[in-house]
Amino acid sequence: MKPFVLKETNWKTVKDQKFELAVLPWGATEAHNYHLPYATDDIMVQKIAEESAQSAWDKGAKVIVLPSIPFGVNTGQLDIRLNINLNPSTQFAILNDIIDVLNRHEIYKFMIMNGHGGNDFKQIIRELGFRYPKMFICSCNWFQSFKGSDFFENSGDHADEMETSIMLHVAPELVLPLSEAGNGDCKKFKIKAFREKWAWTERKWTRITRDTGIGDPSKATPEKGEKCFHEIVNKVSKLMIELSDADINDMYE
């Protein structure tokens, strides 16, 4: 029973506990090449949030991890069997309701821990910040907290060497043998500006990849996953501590 994980703790503990920062892990339910489970993003973001909160809590941070949201924005993948799409407007409604509760209970710092590339909370945070002026609302993408080439040989976007390695570390029982995986080959945009990423449009997933993966997972190992996982937890726990200690009326220097 961890006092910083809401789904495990109880009212006896929570009713008198002061929390500074609430963290909401947000995943997705989608195919991850042939070898990783649909819940890959959700499993990873929960593990990272809880492990980071453990380390932050041990150093005095008053953080509470909320139950994760298992569905993400998958509008470009609706032709992939049982990929579950949650529209951005639904995400707005969910966040509005959660923030309303936090605001009532005077937990004014809130971080969305995002684990899925299709989720993008910036504009939602702008609008909710405007609606709840007492709240400090932020998000982080754990998958951008480190340099992939420090840990992995092959880069990728989805069900790649990085995700496969981390899953082999945190939930190996849910990973099929790598011999079952596709090679994660993907097509690129013909138009240069999209390849350079200064112009953007959504990718039609099944037109760019055959196995739903983007990035070759064949060199994944649990050892690489463990190293990277610890680096991520290090970074995220520091962020949680800094947010817990921060004065939200004095954020700039």
Q: CB nearest Zn ion: which residue?
A: 41
What sign results for the dihedral spanned by CA atoms 247, 44, 234, 158? negative
Give me the least distance between CB of 11 and Zn ion, in Å please: 34
**Stretch binding Zn ion (CB under 5 A), from 38-46, 50-58, 140-148, 200-208:** 38-46
CB of 28 to Zn ion, least distance (A): 7
Q: From CA 125, how far away is CA 119, in angstroms rounded?
A: 12
- Min dist. Cβ of residue 226 to Zn ion (A): 18
How far apart are alpha carbons 138 and 121 in whole angstroms? 9
Indicate whether 161 belongs to the interface with Zn ion (CB under 5 A).
Answer: no
160 touches Zn ion by CB under 5 A:
no
Q: Which stretch binds Zn ion (CB under 5 A): 8-16, 34-42, 123-131, 215-223?
A: 34-42
For residue 86, the minimal CB distance to Zn ion (Å) is: 15
Q: How far apart are CA 230 and CA 93, in angstroms?
A: 33
Judge contact between 32 and 163, C-beta under 8 A.
yes
> Residues in the chain, how many?
253
| Residue 41 binding Zn ion, by CB under 5 A | yes
**Residue number, 40 or 244, with CB nearest to Zn ion:** 40
R_g (Cα) of the chain, nearest Å = 19
Is residue 84 within 8 Å of 131, Cβ to Cβ? no
Q: Is 251 helix (H, G, I), strand (E, B) or coil?
A: coil
Question: How far apart are CB 109 and Zn ion at their closest, in Å?
Answer: 27
Of the pair 41, 216, the CB lying nearest Zn ion is at 41
Helix (H) or strand (E) holding 191: none
- Where on the chain is the footprint of Zn ion (CB under 5 A)? 40-41
